A and B are shown apart, each in its own frame.
Chain A
Amino acid sequence: MMRGLPFTASRHGGFTTLFQKEILRFWKVSFQTIASPVLNALLYLLIFSHVLESRVTVFGGQVRYTEFLIPGLVMMSVLQNSFANASSSLIQSKITGNLIFILLPPLSPLDFYAAYVLGAMVRGVAVGAGVFLVTLAFEPTLAVLAHPLWALAFALLGSGILATLGLIAGMQADKFDEIAAFQNFLIMPLTFLSGVFYSIHSLPAFWQTLSHFNPFFYMIDGFRYGFFGLSDVHPAQSLALVALAAVLLAALALTLLARGYKLRH
């Protein structure tokens, strides 16, 4: 028996386990969490490229529409799945009550934040990579990126931002309904209207201006720059804005976690 001796505190905290648990959680239902979003993106590609390939000109004709569309779909999948993973994991734990297993151990707010966000990023990037690989079958030339590091930087930052938003939404929400509302009324419109399916230069002036207030626009535009070396906005400007948003949201999430906002009462 245990003879009253607690284990000595190990140097490594609980972060690694929480991170692994977050990955294991979606991996165990990977058909739903990875395969089905990949299929969704593929359907968008088939439909939109079929209808629009010969009618839409982007970047002054330097890039065909289908080529243009694919990075948008990859990034959209990264963003949506990062958000979905963090938010649904947290709300499920809150509603079923098993969040207590994470609240009782000596996990710091930073452990908590890093594990949820990195776990969600792994899912977002996995889905994005899946979409990219499948779409390469249609556009093999895309395998060679103009600036792969730019693409990676935007994918990771965008994924981190959406994962953080998902974490905040998961903390804020008390019901699945509220997560769905957040997703359908905020995340979906912002991604769809961010230039996934079109270049904002094809929009009337008013909508072009408005698009510049959509933070998702910079993520997708910068990510696309990584593929073609072409973008609507200078990529350094996009990167600065996206990085700033990531830092601010991380600070907000960490503050809420330290206060135990809607987690500890």
Chain B
Amino acid sequence: MTDAVEVRAVARRFGSVQALAGVDLSVAQGEFFGLLGPNGAGKTTLISILAGLVRADRGVARVLGHDVASDYRQARRALGVVPQELVFDPFFTVRETLRIQSGYFGLRRNDAWIDELLHHLDLTSKADANMRSLSGGMKRRVLVGQALVHKPPVIVLDEPTAGVDVELRQSLWAFIRRLNGDGHTIILTTHYLEEAEALCHRIAMMKAGRIVALDTTQRLLSRFGSLTVRLSASRVPEAWRAHVTRDEGEVHYLELDAYAELEGLLAALREDGIAIDEMRVAGTDLEQAFLRIMAGSATTDDAGVAAVLPEA
């Protein structure tokens, strides 16, 4: 099956800044894919190249097999983009905005789908309100509607929940999940790592214009996550002192790389005859994995980066 998105050796420089330094990426149809990275990592540049807003200096980008430059009409028909900036046209109402956007894709009688979108995005009561009168969260939902108005098989959301309140975030994600369930490929960039962890099947982490990690969310967590063990005991075995991050009297905090290490810790405690009063293990999360990958890649050369790229 054709990949939803295929990017090969894509590079782009803006003046002295190498925004993308040769990116390879494939996203299969139906995936819920996360693109993470600090500001300036190149996420938005990559998305903009897919959308035809920015041109690559070299390399190839395709959406459902359509080259974004030579076959831009088909590529753009296949893609729906929710931009990062909260932009709107102040001349129009919500319904006009959606009708116009639909018309740009050559779809002139699309009111049934527009009504459905308004309903799912909880905008029906605002259909005839001018865009200017909408709150930030509502404008954001209209942007989502505009991206979906031509029923694109591939949907890209560039930081869609930045500055959006919790309730709306939840309902937005429920909607996007349903689209994914219906077979739409979702590509998401976000700063909220817990969101990516909860939603994305697979994640690429970017830094300084490169992909520094690319794997399933689960594997990234188990490879790069860490555990915090809160141990109440008289002391910590000597061999494990190096793992201690903090002591509070008889409460010791240890950091482990993986669950597999727990067994060794328990064995050492038993050998030294140390009684465990209480023990809690706090799980790994994507934020820790992210921080470790970002810190690690700062010193690794290309070979080192390749080591964390199991699918590259």
Report the minimum CB–CB distance from A171 to chain B (whole Å): 15
| B55 and A265 form a contact (CB under 8 A) | yes
A25 to B100, CA, bound (A): 12
Chain B residue contacts of A102, Cβ below 8 A: 104
Is A51 in contact with chain B by the CB < 8 A criterion? no
Does B173 reach chain A (CB closer than 8 Å)?
Answer: no
Produce 1/0 per residue, A228-245, CB < 8 A to B.
Answer: 000000000000000000
From A12-20, A60-68, A120-128, the one touching the partner chain is A12-20
A9 beta carbon closer than 8 Å to chain B:
yes
Could you tell me the distance in whole angstroms from the C-beta of A100 to the nearest C-beta in chain B?
A: 5
Decide yes or no whether A186 CB sits under 8 A from chain B: no
Q: How far is the CA of A10 from the CA of B77 in the complex (A)?
A: 11
Given A103-B52, A106-B76, verify A2-B182 contact (CB < 8 Å).
yes
Q: Which residues of A contact B (CB under 8 A)?
A: 1-7, 9-14, 16-18, 20-21, 24-25, 28-29, 93, 96-98, 100-108, 260, 264-265
A2 near B184: Cβ-Cβ < 8 Å: yes
Q: Does B210 contact A (CB under 8 A)?
A: no
Do B178 and A14 have beta carbons less than 8 Å apart?
A: no
Shortest beta-carbon distance from B110 to chain A in Å: 8
Answer yes or no: B236 CB below 8 A from chain A CBs: no
| 16 A–B pairs (Cβ distance < 8 Å), ordered by A | A4-B153, A4-B182, A6-B150, A9-B74, A9-B106, A10-B107, A14-B104, A14-B106, A17-B108, A18-B104, A21-B100, A96-B87, A101-B87, A101-B89, A104-B79, A106-B74
| Of the residues B14, B106, B153, contact of A10 by C-beta under 8 Å | B106
B52, A10: Cβ atoms closer than 8 Å: no
Segment 100-157 of B: residues with Cβ below 8 Å from A: 100-108, 110, 113, 116, 120, 146, 148, 150-153
> What chain A residues lie within 8 Å of B182 (beta carbons)?
1-4
Across the interface, B53 reaches (CB within 8 A) one of A1, A11, A17, A100, namely A100
Instruction: Give me 18 other A-B pairs in contact (C-beta within 8 A), A1-B182, A7-B105, A10-B108 excluded.
Output: A2-B113, A2-B148, A4-B184, A7-B107, A10-B107, A13-B106, A18-B103, A98-B87, A100-B85, A100-B87, A102-B104, A103-B51, A103-B53, A104-B76, A105-B76, A105-B104, A106-B72, A264-B53
A3 to B148, CA, bound (A): 12
A107/B104 contact (C-beta < 8 A), A2-B113, A25-B91, A28-B91 known: yes
A105 touches B183 (CB 8 A): no
Closest B residue to A101 by beta carbon equals B101
How far is B184's CA from A6's CA once the two chains are assembled, in angstroms? Answer: 10
Q: Is the CB of B100 within 8 A of A17?
A: yes
Chain A residues whose C-beta falls within 8 Å of the C-beta of B100 in the assembled complex: 17, 20-21, 101
Q: A3-B183, A100-B83, A265-B55 are in contact. Are A12 and B146 (CB under 8 A)?
A: no
CB contact list, B163-201 vs A, under 8 A: 178-179, 182-184
Q: Mark interface residues in B74-105 (1 if CB within 8 Å of A CB, else 0).
A: 10111101010101111110001000111111
A227–B150 Cα distance when bound, in Å, is 49
A2 contacts B179, C-beta separation under 8 Å: yes
Q: Is B241 an interface residue (CB 8 A)?
A: no
Bound: A11/B51 CA distance, A: 22
Q: Check A12–B73 contact: CB distance below 8 A.
A: no
B104 touches A7 (CB 8 A): no
Q: Chain A residue with minimal CB distance to B12?
A: A265
Interface residue B54 (Cβ < 8 Å from any Cβ of A): yes
Most chain A C-beta atoms within 10 Å of own C-beta, residue among B54, B79, B116, B151: B151
| Known interface pairs A17-B100, A104-B51, A265-B54; A6-B76 also in contact (CB < 8 Å) | no
Contacts of A7 in B (CB 8 A): 105, 107, 110, 150-151
Q: Using known A-B contacts A3-B182, A5-B151, determine if residue A108 contacts B73 with beta carbons closer than 8 Å.
A: yes
Contact, CB under 8 Å: B103 / A14:
yes
The residue among B53, B102, B108, B120 with the most chain A CB atoms within 10 A of its own CB is B53
For the complex, give the distance between the alpha carbons of A191 and B305 in Å.
63
A128 to chain B, nearest CB (A): 23
B residues in contact with A104, CB < 8 Å: 51-53, 76, 79, 81
Q: Give chain B residues whose Cβ lies under 8 Å from the Cβ of A17.
A: 100, 102-104, 108
Among B55, B103, B153, point to the contact of A264 (Cβ < 8 A): B55
Q: A10-B106, A14-B103, A17-B100 are in contact. Are A98 and B53 (CB under 8 A)?
A: no
Tell me the smallest distance from the CB of B246 to a CB of chain A, in Å.
47
User: With the chains together, A90 CA to B61 CA distance in Å?
Assistant: 28
Q: Which of A103, A106, A265 lies in contact with B77, CB distance below 8 A? A: A106
Q: Which residue of chain A has the shortest Cβ distance to B48 in the bound complex? A: A265
Partner among A11, A14, A93, A97 whose Cβ is within 8 Å of the Cβ of B105: A14
Contact: B105 with A4, CB < 8 Å? Answer: no
**In this complex, which of A2, A5, A17 has the most chain B Cβ atoms within 10 angstroms of its Cβ?**
A2
CA distance in complex: A137, B153 (Å): 59
Residues of chain B lying within 8 A (CB to CB) of residue A264: 52-55
Shortest A99–chain B CB gap in Å is 9
Docked complex: B18-57 residues within 8 A CB-CB of A: 48, 51-55
The smallest beta-carbon distance between A260 and chain B, in angstroms, is 7
A98: which B residues are within 8 A, CB to CB? 87-89
**Contact partners of B107 in chain A: CB under 8 A:** 7, 10
Q: Give the nearest-CB partner of B120 in chain A.
A: A1
